[in-house]
Amino acid sequence: MADAKSAGANSGPKTYTTDFIKADTDRAVFLGNALLDDMMTALIALGSETWAVRRRAKITEMLFEKNGKISREMVEQYMPTPEEERQLTTERDDFIRNIYGHFARNGEDVVALNSLDPKSKK
């Protein structure tokens, strides 16, 4: 099988896996330079980790407000109320838009550096 990779047989517990055909997306370069692609992936990963820290902080605050005391276990196990969940989701979506919204400007309005006409703005 072309490009197949075995993830199955070993001496440990039975995995019931078999060979598969590996995707080539790890080698995808869309931005003209592999480093740029990697930086974009890193930027999104960084955003996800930053959000995790912020969400943990928010949950810690929620717990502190409710209980006046907190422990690591309480934070880890806390289940936000539906209202708190809504607040967190709104904040998350704002967080994403504030950071990545720069990449979502209206594509139709892209203006090149060499096309500046100060009067018509075209």
Partner 1 sequence: MTMFNRRTLFASTVAAVGAATEALTARSAQAALPKDVEPRGSTGRLERLPRLDLESVHDFITGFRKFANGDMSRSANARMTAIIKAEGLDPDADLPIQKILELTGKDPVIANSARTWLSAQQINWRTLHNEFHANSDLYMAEMEAADKAGPGTLELNPDLKPPAYTTHEIHIQPGGYVGDPFAGHIYLYGTNNFYTGRNNQDELHIEYASAVPVPKTGKVTRVLEQGTSCGQLAVALKQRFPNAEVWGIDVGGPMVRFAHMRAADIGVEVHFAQRLAEDSKFPDNHFDIVTNNIMFHEVSQDGARAILKESMRVLRPGGVYFPMDFYTGGPPPKAAYGKFRSWWDSRWNGEPWRLDYAALDFAGAMRDAGFDVNENGPPARPGTKRNILGTKPA
Nearest distance, CB of residue 61 and partner 1, angstroms: 14
Tokens for 33? 């330079």
Cα-based distances in Å from 112 to 3, 16, 21, 51, 120: 42, 55, 42, 34, 14
Tokens for 50? 């930053």
Residues numbered 34-63 forming contacts with partner 1, rule: CB under 8 A:
37, 40-41, 44-45, 47-49, 51-52, 55-56, 59
Nearest distance, CB of residue 45 and partner 1, angstroms: 5
Tokens for 119? 């009067």
DSSP type of residue 120: T
Pick 68 or 104: Cβ nearer partner 1: 104
Q: Which residues, other chains included, contact 121 with Cβ-Cβ below 8 Å and sequence gap of 6+?
A: 111
Nearest distance, CB of residue 42 and partner 1, angstroms: 9
Q: Could you tell me how many residues make up the chain?
A: 122
CB of 35 within 8 A of CB of 53?
A: no
Nearest distance, CB of residue 7 and partner 1, angstroms: 5
Interface with partner 1 (CB under 8 A): 1, 4-8, 12-23, 25-26, 28, 30-32, 37, 40-41, 44-45, 47-49, 51-52, 55-56, 59, 75-82, 88-89, 92-93, 95-97, 100-101, 103-108, 110
